[in-house]
Amino acid sequence: MILVVNKDSNINNKLNQIAVILICMWIAIPILRVKLGVIFLFFLFIVWLITTDLKWLTQKLSWDLIFIIIFFITFVPYLVSGNLQYGLIGSKGILVNFPIFFVGIFINHYYMYYKEDYKTLGKIALFSLFFYTIGSLQTYFGLLKYPLAARELAGAIDNNPGLTQLYSELGIGGFGHIYSATFLLIVALFPILRARLFPVKNKIIIFISAISILLMLLRASYATSLMILFFGLILILVVKNRFTFIFLIIMSTILCLLIPQTAIGDFLLSIANLFKDNNILNQKFVDLAQFILNNSTEGQTGTRINLYLSSLQTFLSNPLFGIYGPFGNSTNAKVGGHSGWFDLLAYYGLFTAIPLFLTLFYNYRKHRQFYKRTQFSSFVITIYLLFIIFGFINPILYVYEIGFVLFCVVPAIPFISYAFKLKDTENLTLERGN
């Protein structure tokens, strides 16, 4: 694949690049989000938008952008009727968190598909890794002093509001920072594992960032995060193309059906034993093993399964417009609040969920076609699979850091080496896969 970097050095373009880099910084460094607030981010986005070539809003709009606009339009009737809510978060989740979650899809499209400015994409990826390194190190050192801080910020355990405020002001990242860093770490390994043409100094920078993020993830002790990282590493090492991916999924499904539950449970207990010095991770894997061995609805895993089922059952009772729609009853309905996809379906039904799912499908297909027959193709497949799975088992749509990383930073990773050293007229290549 041959790509050409175009020259554009006017002041307007400089302001545009500064704004997008500062947006990346706001997303990646938790303490800045606390100190600067969300108003600062919206100001940066307005600066970024008015310094773009505004013709892109009416030209070359892809299907994912069209469907995400429709997705937000579906909330208008609920806003007018006064039913715009998202569980305990209220309307803030939809009016504030959702737009931030999806802002990266527009930023990426502008540079990657409209302007074809691959140097700026490289800067977005490189600076994001740098900022995530800062945020991860702040979180790591904060967790050395307050080991449970990340879990308290995520609401995983009972917390003291005064302490959570202290943790935030110390720059300790919570749920959104931990999981967005997990997805970023998996894709950041591309230059190290697959890209032979990447300059060594860039690989060293990425390696330092990866180590910083990994140390934070281990210290944060999020079992799901480590499982996502583990399976992500297996997939990117094994999956070379779409055929390999489909074959692996089929074989994994068959093995899960054939392997006895006792074997799976014993395997999880052996993993728990690896973390015997980490009480949190040890208990998580023991709980999961006992759930599989005993088919019990007790414990943390059993409780979460029940919450997933409650959201699914509520959706099946209100399939079209959800509990906030014209035929729903939000007073008596029970939504678990722990599954991104099931919760959305329960709250707003297919009327809102279908445009969202079409957005994700077309965004995946757009990037899959762009990177077709390149080494990065398997990373695109892997990260979207993990993202979809994660959305079933955890809240996701109001966790805006994850959305920004997935839609904006992840597709830009292969362009890191394009950021600063290339001449304006130089042709660039992406390595072809097997």
pLDDT score at 431: 54
Instruction: Render 46-113 in DSSP notation, one character per residue.
Output: HHHHHTS-GGGGTSS--HHHHHHHHHHHTTHHHHHHT---BTBTTTHIIIIIHHHHHHHHHHHHIIII
Sorted by where each begins, the domain ranges of the chain are 7-239+364-421
Whole-angstrom distance, CA of residue 398 vs CA of residue 246: 30
Residues 6+ apart with CB under 8 A from 380: 364, 367, 368, 371, 410, 411
For the chain, 434 residues long, give each residue's pLDDT as a single digit of tens: 444 444 445 888 899 999 999 999 999 999 999 999 999 999 999 999 999 988 888 887 899 999 999 999 999 999 998 889 998 888 999 999 999 999 999 999 999 999 999 999 999 999 999 999 999 999 999 999 988 888 888 765 556 667 778 888 888 998 999 999 999 999 999 888 876 667 788 888 899 999 999 999 999 988 899 999 999 998 888 877 677 777 777 877 777 677 777 877 777 788 888 777 777 788 888 878 777 777 666 677 788 888 999 999 999 999 999 999 887 777 778 898 889 999 999 999 999 999 999 999 999 999 999 998 888 888 999 999 999 999 999 999 999 999 999 999 999 999 998 887 655 434 445 554 44
| Beta strands 427-429; 2-4: pairing state | antiparallel
pLDDT of residue 47: 95
Closest to 23 in 3D by CA, of 137, 99, 74: 99
Which among 85, 53, 13, 80 is positioned nearest to 324, based on CA atoms? Answer: 85
Give residue 426's pLDDT: 42
Torsion of CA 192, 198, 202, 203, to 10 degrees: 20
The helix/strand/coil state of 275 is: coil
What is the pLDDT at residue 427?
A: 42
Per-residue model confidence (pLDDT) at position 157: 57
Q: How far apart are CA 113 and CA 321, in angstroms?
A: 34
User: What residues does 2 pair with on adjacent strands?
Assistant: 429
Q: What is the pLDDT of residue 5?
A: 44
- Is 20 within 8 Å of 419 (Cβ atoms)? no
Collapsing DSSP states into helix, strand and coil, what is residue 374?
A: strand
**Maximum CA pair distance of the chain?**
66
* pLDDT confidence of residue 295: 67
What is the amino acid identity at position 195? A
For the stretch 390-408, pLDDT in tens is 999 999 999 999 999 999 9
